[in-house]
Chains A and B, each alone.
Chain A
Amino acid sequence: MNSELQTIEKHISQEYKYGFVTDIDQETIPVGLDEQVVRLISAKKNEPEWMTRWRLKSYRNWIKMTEPTWANVKYSRIDYQAISYYSAPIKDSKKLNSIDEVDPEILKTYEKLGIPLEEQKWLAGVAVDAVFDSVSVATTFKEQLNKHGVIFCPFSEAVQKHPELVKKYLGSVVPYTDNFFAALNSAVFSDGSFVYIPKGVKCPMELSTYFRINAANTGQFERTLIIADEGSHVSYLEGCTAPMRDENQLHAAVVELIAHKDATIKYSTIQNWYPGDPKTGKGGIFNFVTKRGICKGNNSKISWTQVETGSAITWKYPSVILKGDHSIGEFYSVALTNNFQQADTGTKMTHIGKNTKSTIISKGISAGYGQNTYRGGVKIMKGAENARNYSQCDSLLIGDKCGAHTFPYIDVRNPTAQMEHEASTSTIGEDQLFYSNQRGISTEDAISMIVNGFCKEVFKELPMEFAVEAQKLMEISLEGSVG
């Protein structure tokens, strides 16, 4: 029996493939955080006065806040004065006019990660914004998108070129007072993506941002803002990786989504930050992220899909505020914790409008010493007549040293609400593996077959181009050399 477990463990301990470091000249500001640093970041980005003031308000708010401790994760205290809050490749400090001007080392980095930035090499139908440490280094297919009136650009560019939109929506879903990490992000955020889809436009291609942390001892604080105007439609995907380093690195992002009347936003994440050393648990990314969308208008829809395989610690709850009548919120999640990874993730659905509907499908996979927590909140407000929620939380345990935890919170203030909650816990047992083996299926194939079967309800929600990638990523994260 034990040898079977050992085989399972061997399968699930494969090395992180994206752990290399790119050797380029980077400008990194000294560690530490105070008002001067906030001003410095703002100055480096040549920001208008209103933006600097907003950052400072956020900073002054942040210093009064304390780090939350309610999450079911354990880590040693983060020293916020030991982190550098800005790092950028030197060549890129001046404005780039075309992709040819991007440092070839950076292009090579993305190539190595499987994200070629030359447009002709990339999948047709996907536009990419590449964020390298604190700055966006390239955005593809800009012209084509412009033709449709779609704005897809680095956040810092939006601040310069579309201040009216940024001013109107920045902090409107996640205010800087929201929580400790959101406040920190609001003060020091460096770059990220900005998307605006005009009225009635169905975005002609998938939009995608690829985040890469490279520099040591820096935090990555990106900010993404997506606005879908009336009747528009957009599908957006983000991917993330980081080098292997012994120190923990902080990633505290904020994502805000705004869906107006009849608009749909589909937001997918494939998160593969460095998870830390598989044997000792040393290093890895602390992923403390605030993601929230608002279905502002009637008949709007926001759908979050996430595949979380990386990070030492994941703390994120992509949520939807269902304000418009008949609006729809969805959350589809696969979270994998292997070795010493910990994840406390889930969603919050707040029903305000009438006939609003939310669906939560959460799949947690724990292996090694991994600890996986689902934390979900469903709130039905007083005026939300006929609100409906369906929640399903499934946990899959691989081996006998890992854990799965579920904390569903339900708050119903309207008697017409219909709530359904289902939960299950299963294991990949040696009897399932033996049964598969007896049919001629290798242990490795059996594990990926079972894991994929477990995740398929979520994978089918991913844009087609990425569903295969997600499946492969699960295999890489779970499989290893056969003994």
Chain B
Amino acid sequence: MIMLEIKNLHVSVEGKPILRGINLTVNAGELHAIMGPNGSGKTTLAQVIAGRDMYEVTNGEIIFDGKNLLNMTPEARALEGVFMSFQYPVVIPGVNITYFLKIAVNAMRKHKGLEELDAIDFLTFIKEKMRLVRMDESYLSRSVNDGFSGGEKKRNEILQMLVLEPRLSVLDETDSGLDIDAVRIVANGLNNFRSNERGFLVITHYQRILDYIDPDYVHVLKNGRIIKSGGKNLAMELEEKGYSWLEEEQPIEA
């Protein structure tokens, strides 16, 4: 079943084209890895899916569950089940994680027509999820990402994914800046979360995390286009040879 369909997506920032015709289909249950050198447009793709308004979509569409995402506000997309793990998670001083996530979870529940969780049920729920990413309970009283190390921030992103239970998760360089233990923890959290109903776009610069998660497809993004798609082997090939051997030989124009 098709979950996400990106058709001929062109995106500019301040008049400068960044994405130049992306075509990508993600079915429920699939995990797609998107790899590419710096500046190829990986983060732009993630942010456009999430709805950041500094990007101008000049052409194309993004369909999620048959709905046109581009017409929706970022919060409406989130409520529909689109989650993005930020490459650089944002610090919100003075707002503790429990409070932040409780507002978010209850917004989701309200959207789904479910009753809001009270403080006690919510704590039970979140503590269980924290164990999955090996986060200590002391995090509950800390401000969102405030004073967190790089690894803590990324684990906190995965925690939020587990708590909000999105149908589509876009992970933007969730593995970058992590030591190997942290990569394993993050990958474990992700693997436990995979199911037939969920789809994933894992954006990464390195092949490393793909040793722990098993992608169904690997795509190479360069200069705003997907220049090559393949299976897991493609990632290994990239690790060996780098990106330079791939030329834009088969530009996929719509």
Contact = CB atoms under 8 A, between A and B. Distances in A.
Nearest to B106: A440
A439 B143 contact: no
Contacts, number: 78
A432 interface: yes
Contact of B107 (A4, A434, A440): A440
B108 A435 contact: no
Given A440-B111, A445-B103, A453-B99, A435 B53 contact: no
Interface in A421-437: 424, 426, 429, 431-432, 434-437
Interface in A388-432: 424, 426, 429, 431-432
A3 interface: yes
A466 interface: no
B79 interface: yes
Given A434-B74, A438-B83, A440-B78, A1 B50 contact: no
16 contacts: A426-B93, A431-B90, A432-B90, A434-B50, A435-B90, A437-B73, A437-B74, A438-B84, A439-B107, A439-B160, A440-B75, A441-B75, A449-B95, A450-B92, A453-B93, A453-B99
A456 B107 CA distance: 22
B93 A449 contact: no
A436 B101 CA distance: 10
Interface of B: 50-54, 73-75, 77-79, 83-84, 86, 89-96, 99-101, 103-104, 107-108, 111, 143, 160, 164
A462 to B, nearest CB: 17
A54 interface: no
Contact of A449 (B50, B51, B52, B99): B99
A363 B100 CA distance: 21
B83 A442 contact: no
B103 A434 contact: no
Contact of B52 (A429, A434, A453, A454): A434
A445 B107 CA distance: 10
Given A437-B51, A441-B107, 18 more contacts: A1-B54, A3-B53, A424-B93, A434-B74, A434-B90, A437-B75, A438-B51, A438-B75, A439-B160, A439-B164, A440-B104, A440-B164, A441-B100, A442-B75, A442-B107, A445-B103, A450-B95, A453-B92
A429 B88 CA distance: 14
A41 B84 CA distance: 67
Nearest to B95: A453
Given A440-B108, A440-B164, A449-B103, A435 B86 contact: yes
B78 A456 contact: no
Nearest to A424: B93
B155 to A, nearest CB: 16
A397 B108 CA distance: 29
B100 A439 contact: yes
A4 B101 CA distance: 22
Contacts of B52: 434
Interface string A320-345: 00000000000000000000000000
Given A1-B53, A453-B143, A441 B103 contact: yes
Contacts of A1: 53-54
Contacts of A432: 90-92
A439 B95 contact: no
Nearest to A429: B90
A452 to B, nearest CB: 8
B93 A454 contact: yes
Contacts of A454: 93-94
A453 B96 CA distance: 8
A260 to B, nearest CB: 37
Closest 8 CB pairs of A and B: A453-B94, A453-B95, A437-B74, A440-B78, A435-B90, A439-B104, A440-B107, A437-B75
Contacts of B79: 440
Contacts of B95: 449-450, 453
B119 to A, nearest CB: 16
A426 B91 CA distance: 11
A1 B52 CA distance: 9
A445 B92 CA distance: 14
B86 A437 contact: no
A474 to B, nearest CB: 13
Contacts of B143: 453
A432 B95 CA distance: 11
Nearest to B145: A435
Interface in A164-206: none
Nearest to B54: A1
A450 B53 contact: no
Given A4-B53, A453-B93, A453-B94, A437 B99 contact: no
Contacts of B77: 438
Nearest to B104: A439
Interface string A359-383: 0000000000000000000000000
B20 to A, nearest CB: 23
A439 B164 CA distance: 8
Contacts of A443: 75
A437 B111 CA distance: 14
Contacts of B53: 1, 3-4
A437 B103 contact: no
A180 B94 CA distance: 39
Contacts of B78: 437-440
A98 to B, nearest CB: 44
Given A439-B104, A441-B103, A456 B94 contact: yes
Contacts of A424: 93
Given A453-B92, A454-B94, A456-B94, A438 B100 contact: no
